[in-house]
Amino acid sequence: MLDGLNSVEKHVRTVSLEVPYVFKLESLEKAKELFLKWLDIYKMYTNGYRGEILPRTSRHVIRMLSSFTNDLENQVREVFEARIASEAYLLVNEFLKTFARGTPCCFVLAEHKEFNQTSIGTLLTDKLNNLSQPRPRVGMANLDIVIRDIKIRDLPVICYDHGQFDNVLSWPLLLHEAFHYLYSTQRLDRLAKDCPQVSWLEEALIDMYIVNYFGPAYALSLATYLQKYPHEKTITHPSFVSRIFIALKYLEKVQEDNKLPLPSSEHVAHVFDYLKRVWDEHKESDPLEVQDQVSKVYDVAERKVKELISENTLPFGEFLMETEKRRRKVYEKGEYEYVENQVLSVSDVMEYFDYGIPAAADPRIIFNSFISKGRQQMINDRRTGLFIKESLKKWHLKNAWLEAKARKPG
């Protein structure tokens, strides 16, 4: 047992943390510290039980601890050997910086069997809750202190489906999982007031929030993923048909408002048609009662969702219009030749892509440049993924340079 723990500890201590972004490095270093504390807890249990004569009925605990050690090794690998590109961190980091309201934005991305959100502290607590009581008597004095310290320093773990690690156009789904963290830490359950009290309400509200923030690109990612991997309805999740219906409601509203500039307004129509076809194929699997509940949730919460987004940034439609205004002003002033002044629109990004040049555009612009009917057919095109990753990198470097310049005296 201790040999296994020592092996995992050696793995954690020697894991390479050579990463290109400072905030990612800081997050992985914090995750490393928490995993080492987790190992300390397992060692306390192991040493404690070794100092006692265990009755036959308690010996299975040692076997459980041994299996937990194997699980921990896997979780370490899922975080430190995650295959998703580092630029995915840029997308999630920008989202958390925008909405976390001053709270630390440290997080880690982990490879998992599905998109999910948890934390290192939660993973540990779930494991320990499975251990039979009483605890071993020997060496347990510091156990609660270490557990409490892990909970204080806890770190969100945002999981992606391991089969999607190289699918850049699935990255908007990471924002849904990141918002679960904000939903709990900022008590955003107030969005649920006056909504039908269905068990999957949180999931529906988060889908509403992300699609209103990130736009049709999230709706397309969600529909493409759910159509390929249709999850069954559970207590906490509506069926994939209901989730697509939420996205349809958003796209319907956007088209009714008719405020999006070209070519985005045309692209939204293409996304709507695609989602409508998917929904029509599967809507019979959802009772009319559920569809009615989804509609009520959307109608009740839409205004609150947009107000909440507006406390930190602009909802997608307003953001797109504001981008166009800023872009025109830059042209009128003749300052477009300077990279730091450039404001790129969807049209610009499409042109950059056709020329094979990464575009230093906002992530919401970048991803929503690939939602037209023609671009939808390029989901598996390697050039698309490379362009988006390099564009996110270019956008991040541009912002870092502007921030450094703003801090420079004089």
**β-sheet bridge partners, residue 159:** 110, 116
If you average pLDDT over residues 306-312, what whole number do you get? 93
* Intra-chain end-to-end CA distance of the chain, in Å: 61
| pLDDT tier, 13 (very low <50, low <70, confident <90, very high otherwise) | very high
pLDDT in tens, 343-353: 999 999 999 99
Return d(Cα 162, Cα 135) in angstroms, integer. 36
If you average pLDDT over residues 15-43, what whole number do you get? 91
User: Any idea where the domains of the chain sit in the sequence?
Assistant: 2-88+118-155, 206-310, 316-407
**How many angstroms separate the Cα of 129 from the Cα of each of 112, 118, 125, 135?**
22, 16, 6, 11
Model pTM score: 0.91
| pLDDT tier, 32 (very low <50, low <70, confident <90, very high otherwise) | very high
pLDDT in tens, 220-241: 999 888 877 766 555 567 788 8
pLDDT in tens, 383-401: 899 999 999 999 999 998 8
| pLDDT tier, 406 (very low <50, low <70, confident <90, very high otherwise) | confident
Q: How would you write the chain as a 3-class SS string? A: CHHHHHHHHHHHHHCCCCCCCHHHHHHHHHHHHHHHHHHHHHHHHHHHHHCCCCCHHHCHHHHHHHHHHHHHHHHHHHHHCCCCCCHHHHHHHHHHHHHCCCCCCCCEEEEECCCEEEEHHHHHHHHHCCCCCCCCCCCCCCHHHHHHHHHHCCCEEEEEEHHHCCCHHHCHHHHHHHHHHHHHHCCHHHHHCCCCCCCCHHHHHHHHHHHHHHCHHHHHHHHHHHHHCCCCCCCCCCCHHHHHHHHHHHHHHHHHHCCCCCCHHHHHHHHHHHHHHHHHHHHHHCCHHHHHHHHHHHHHHHHHHHHHHHCCCCCHHHHHHHHHHHHHHHHHHCCCCCHHHCCCCHHHHHHHHHHCCCCCCCHHHHHHHHCCHHHHCCCCCHHHHHHHHHHHHHHHHHHHHHHHHHHCCC
Q: Are 259 and 317 contacting, i.e. CB atoms less than 8 angstroms apart? A: yes
